[in-house]
Amino acid sequence: DAELGHAFAVPFEYVIGKRDIPIIPLFTNVYVPPLPTPKRCAALGKAIAGIIKGRKERVALIASGGMSHFPGTSKYLTPEFDFDRWLVAQFEAGNTDALLNMTGTQLDEVGNTEMLNWATMFGAIGPEEGELIDYIPTWHHGLSMMRFLPHRARKTASTKGIEQYGGFKFKNQGFQFYKHPPAEAYGLNRLLFEVRHSADLRDRIIKNLDTVAKEYELSPQQRAASEELINVGKGGLVSEHVGPLVEAGAHPLQALMSLHVIFSMSHRAPAREARIAD
């Protein structure tokens, strides 16, 4: 009984709404190496399409995720919008290979590992020309919505004059941002995972961090970085507290999500106490 996060909640809310439609959620590992390649995701999509063809229902595929997005990293505030626009133009022209021919490390460099979900969809529908609904660059990632409808009137988009990859120059030196956490940081990452689900653990960290640090066998650096689990409740941007945890071996997304939970809990507490007082 896995809990479904915002990657599912957003399309549920804004696309599906209150319609009683059977849904099969599909999870893809997009942040912890080794990642599936875009072509492997496409192969999965092709297999899914084979199953759908044998069904009587009308089926829609929704790919959630992306675009340029670096949560928990030093690149969080500087997304690669030009790359996003280049990729969107390729999809409008039906050139899905622009994504499928990329490597996981390249997607990591431009903050687009979440596009692996799109690769699965493309494997199922083939090289359809897409229709751009909107692309919105925000302060920390690119929001894009497209639709790929079979048998719609074609209006082939031109990709002439658009520099390849939007001008981005790949280093191709392995994963730059979302690396597999080192083994010696196991205790820290376990703490960050468990603190998201345990109010008791959150309280114990605030009351006696040293005891918790010993319990999780944290190194001095990891124990010092864990101070951010307390500091985040005192204000400022949540992303400002991620750096020390990542430097100590935490996975960037793991650190950011844990800090978000603590931040939101710390702001709910005063309201809850006020209701009790009333």
- The DSSP annotation for 28-67 comes to ---SSSSPPPHHHHHHHHHHHHHHHHTSSS---------S
CA-based end-to-end distance of the chain? 37
Same domain, 218 and 136: no
122 and 216 within one domain = no
Q: Which of 167, 197, 212 is the last residue of a domain?
A: 167
Q: What is the pLDDT of residue 129?
A: 93
Residue at 104 is within a domain: yes
Residues 89 and 226 in one domain: no
Domain assignment present for residue 157? The answer is yes
Residue 173 lies in a domain: no
For residue 161, is it within any domain? yes
Residue 129 belongs to domain with CATH number: 3.40.830.10
- Residue 124's closest CA among 46, 217, 51, 183? 46
Same domain, 207 and 80: no
Encoded amino acid at 199, one letter: A
Alpha helices in 80-231 (DSSP H): 81-92, 97-100, 104-109, 116-125, 186-195, 199-207, 209-215, 220-225, 228-231
Q: Is residue 177, in this structure, part of any structural domain at all? A: no
Q: Which of 43, 182, 169, 39 is nearest to 104 (CA)?
A: 39
DSSP 41: H
Q: Which of 84, 48, 54, 47 is nearest to 66 (CA)?
A: 84
Looking at the structure, tell me whether residues 141 and 228 fall in a common domain.
no
Domain of residue 120: give its range. 6-167
- Residue 131's contacts (CB-CB under 8 Å, 6 or more residues apart) are 92, 146, 147, 148, 149, 152
Residue 265 lies in a domain: yes
Total domain count, the chain:
2
- What type of residue sits at position 228? E
**pLDDT for position 5:** 80
pLDDT at res. 272: 46
* Residue 40 neighbours by CB distance under 10 Å: 16
Q: Do the domain assignments include residue 73?
A: yes
- pLDDT tens, per residue, the chain with 278 residues: 567 788 888 888 888 889 999 999 999 999 998 999 999 999 999 999 999 999 999 999 999 988 999 999 999 999 999 999 999 999 999 999 999 999 999 999 999 999 999 999 999 999 999 999 999 999 999 999 999 998 777 666 666 778 999 999 999 999 999 999 999 999 999 999 999 999 999 999 999 999 999 999 999 999 999 999 999 988 788 999 999 999 999 999 999 999 999 998 876 655 544 444 44
Q: Identify the DSSP state of 154.
A: P
195 and 158, same domain (yes or no): no
**pTM (whole model) above 0.85:** yes
Question: Are 142 and 23 in a shared domain?
Answer: yes
The answer to whether position 1 is within a domain reads no
